[in-house]
Amino acid sequence: MTESHKLHAETLVVSQGRPAHEHDAPVNTPIYMTSTFRGAKTVDTLNDKVYARFHNPSWDDLEEVIASLEEAELPGLTFASGMAAVAAVEDLVPVGSAILIPRHTYMASISLAQKLERRGVCEVIRYDLDDTEGTLAAMEAAASARSLSGENIDYRAPKVLMWIESPTNPMLEIADLTVLLPAAQKLGIVTAVDNTFSTPLVQKPLNLGADIVVHSATKFIAGHSDVVMGLAVTNNPVLRAAMLEHRTVNGAIAGPFEAFLALRGVRTLALRVQRSMANAQELAERLQEHPMVREVRYPGLPADPFHKRAVAQMDGFGAVLCVVLDADAAGTDAMVNQLQLWTPATSLGGVESLIERRRRHLAEPDSIPESLLRLSVGIENVEDLYRDLDQAMRSVPKASKDSIG
User: Interface with ligand PLP by CB under 6 A: which range of 22-30, 103-111, 136-144, 327-335?
Assistant: 103-111
User: Interface with ligand PLP by CB under 6 A: which range of 150-158, 193-201, 238-246, 304-312?
Assistant: 193-201
User: Interface with ligand PLP by CB under 6 A: which range of 11-19, 102-110, 137-145, 152-160?
Assistant: 102-110
* Distance (Å, whole) CA 160 – CA 139: 9
H/E element, 324: strand 320-325
**Does the protein bind ligand PLP through residue 358 (CB under 6 A)?**
no
Q: Which is nearer to ligand PLP, 188 or 230 (CB)?
A: 230
Out of 81, 234, 279, 281, name the contact with ligand PLP by CB under 6 A: 81
Binding mask 144-183 for ligand PLP (x = CB under 6 A): ---------------------x---x--------------
* Distance (Å, whole) CA 192 – CA 210: 6
H/E element, 196: none
Supply the minimum distance, in Å, between the C-beta of residue 88 and ligand PLP.
12
Q: What SS3 class is residue 160? A: strand
Site size toward ligand PLP (CB under 6 A) is: 17
DSSP 57-110: TTTHHHHHHHHHHTT-SS--EEESSHHHHHHHHHTTPPTTEEEEEESSS-HHHH
Contact by Cβ (8 Å): 69, 50: no
**Does the protein bind ligand PLP through residue 82 (CB under 6 A)?**
yes
* Distance (Å, whole) CA 76 – CA 62: 8
For the purposes of burial, counting CB atoms within 10 Å of the CB of 185, is it exposed (0-12), middle (13-18) or buried (19 or more)? middle
Q: What is the DSSP letter of 51?
A: B
Out of 176, 194, 328, 388, name the contact with ligand PLP by CB under 6 A: 194
Out of 88, 148, 228, 287, name the contact with ligand PLP by CB under 6 A: 228
**Does the protein bind ligand PLP through residue 218 (CB under 6 A)?**
yes
User: Interface with ligand PLP by CB under 6 A: which range of 51-59, 106-114, 271-279, 282-290?
Assistant: 106-114
373 forms beta bridges with: 323, 357
Question: Which spans of this chain sit near ligand PLP (rule: CB under 6 A)?
Answer: 81-83, 86, 106, 108-109, 165, 169, 194, 196-197, 216, 218-219, 228, 230
